[in-house]
Chain A
Amino acid sequence: MSNADLLRQNADTLKSRMGAFFPGERTIFRSYDLHADLKEMSWIELYVFGITGRRHTPEQLRLMNALWVFTSYPDPRLWNNRVAALAGSARSTGNLGVSAALAVSEAHIYGRGNGIQASHFIINTRKQLEAGGNMADCVRDEMARHGRIAGYGRPLINADERNGPLMELARELGLDAGPHVELAHTLERFLLDSGRNLRMNYGGLAAAFNADLGLSPQEAYHFMFPAFLAGMQPCFIEARRRPEGTLYPLATSHLLYEGVPARRWPGAIED
């Protein structure tokens, strides 16, 4: 038995349950014929099915759609969107700019880096409370482990304009009273009552809804990948329409130098 046997066994042929393309014939998507069995699916339905392998109700899909719509902000000042806009300004391509903006969206203080911690926190907290734990211990452990409570507090401003409309839609759809969403609100009250000025942010509420929709943290992470996408294309397009290089150009006066004073490079000839 060699340590390389696993590589030998997997060379050239991949065993997959996810799907395959048979040129000129058909495409199998998670064991279904894409062009026959799944042809009526909306894109979001197919996207979620591709991630989870599970079907969702029309009401759940409307809520999922809203989770993307409500955080599509065409504002090029936002750091991820700014990458798309800068690409437009520098006359790069739309795919490059928006793909890079999506990559940057995997940030620690917002986006996927924040979301995956928020998902784990809300799911684990519910499990611990059901097992007889208490909220104070959960919060203390989370602070000790991650140095923050992901899903609570927000860069720029400690309030979230997305949460009210999302809760309103969830109520219309009858999806507002899931255990994780109720816990998320209870946690917010607990944090405020215990003197922490941490209001629930969109990442926290989205994590709770995703958990109530049955998504694991990893599934929620994949599902939320395009959440900012609709706001990025306008940023690229408008920057592309402007004269090249004119998106927030930085002058030398924009640089606040805090380093060592000027010095000579070793071997440089004195003037």
Chain B
Amino acid sequence: MSNEFVRTKIWHEEPESGNTFATRVARCHGYDVYGEMLGKARWVEMLYLLFRGEVPSTAEADLLEALAVALANPGPRDVSVHAAMCGGVGGSPSAACLVAALAVGAGELGGGREIFMSMEFWNACGTDLKAWQSKFDTTADTKASIWPVPEHPVGFDCHGDTIAMPVLQTLACLAKLSPGPRLPWLAENRAALEKGAGFPLAFSGVAAAALADLGFLPEQGEMLHMLLRLPGAAAHALEQRHHSYKKFPFFSIELDTSREEDA
């Protein structure tokens, strides 16, 4: 009998008789996954259950599913998908392509870290426009961290002039599905928020509001965002694997040969 334990509130396993390394029944937050959920539960219900510990309402499951569709493929122009394709084009292992997508898609520019920070904003400001304005006016936290100091208002598109149509369409769809309060408020107050931020709303801003409306913590939202964007990275990496590297952009470099020690 071992004295070493993995403590978990998520997962319980009953062993087969005579073999504690074989599972007879596996329960996720109390529900029999293979005996009762399988074939009845939706993928998004399982996701919600894993992170939140309860079954989502139909409205919550619909919202999470719509969000998952919206996030499934950021498209080959997205940096995380670009990174995954860099793996695909050289014939790197599939896991390396996904690792590349995760590493790049973890960042503060449209990635998991932006979702985390944006959800913290939602927790701090809620649906109070003045609180958001105050946040926009506050200098970013400069404490020492592995993460860079944020360079743009989180949840907004620092390279956009106007809101992108897919972002607007996603916001409209998710706001209708949301049990509230953040997404409907965001849809109503988008123009004022964009004015305060100085930039149009980004996908990350909509995703963060949706994940907050679903009751996820910022670190849960960060994880889900990275996870839900992987399908597109995977598909595009595989597509490039079957093309010659000669058909993939190699770009150019204008080299500055001056030496930094001479500067």
Contacts and interface: CB of A to CB of B under 8 A. Distances in A.
Contacts of B20: 4
Interface stretch (A50-58, A127-135, A242-250): A242-250
Contact of B152 (A8, A99, A155, A244): A244
Given A4-B19, A90-B79, A100 B90 contact: no
A124 B76 CA distance: 41
B113 to A, nearest CB: 7
B111 interface: yes
Contacts of B253: 75-77
Interface string A98-119: 0111011111111101000000
A108 B103 contact: no
Interface string B1-35: 01010000000000000111110000000000000
Given A90-B108, A90-B109, A92-B104, A109 B90 contact: yes
A184 interface: no
Contacts of B107: 87, 90-93
Given A90-B108, A99-B103, A244-B158, A254 B87 contact: no
Contacts of B159: 245, 249
Interface string B153-166: 00000110000000
Interface string B176-203: 0000000000000000000000000000
Contacts of B250: 77, 156
Given A92-B113, A104-B100, A252-B77, A80 B90 contact: yes
B35 to A, nearest CB: 22
Given A87-B103, A244-B109, A103 B92 contact: yes
B21 A83 contact: no
B79 A245 contact: yes
Contacts of A113: 91-92
A97 B104 CA distance: 6
Contacts of A250: 76-77, 82, 249
A86 interface: yes
Interface residues of A, number: 51
A155 B245 contact: yes
B109 A12 contact: no
Interface in A61-109: 75-77, 79-80, 82-83, 86-87, 89-97, 99-101, 103-109
Contacts of A110: 90
B200 to A, nearest CB: 14
Contacts of A95: 146
Contact of B111 (A90, A107, A155, A243): A90
Contacts of B251: 77, 248
Nearest to A82: B86
A108 B94 CA distance: 11
B19 A2 contact: yes
Interface of A: 2, 4, 7-8, 11-12, 75-77, 79-80, 82-83, 86-87, 89-97, 99-101, 103-111, 113, 155-156, 240, 243-245, 247-252, 254-255
Interface of B: 2, 4, 18-22, 76-77, 79-80, 82-83, 86-87, 89-93, 95-97, 99-100, 102-111, 113, 146-148, 150-152, 158-159, 245, 248-253
3 shortest A-B CB distances, which residue pairs?
A: A108-B91, A100-B103, A92-B107
11 contacts: A2-B18, A4-B20, A7-B21, A79-B87, A79-B92, A80-B90, A86-B83, A91-B109, A92-B111, A94-B146, A254-B77
Given A80-B90, A86-B104, A91-B151, 14 more contacts: A79-B90, A82-B83, A83-B86, A87-B107, A90-B106, A93-B107, A99-B99, A109-B245, A113-B92, A243-B151, A244-B152, A245-B159, A250-B82, A254-B249
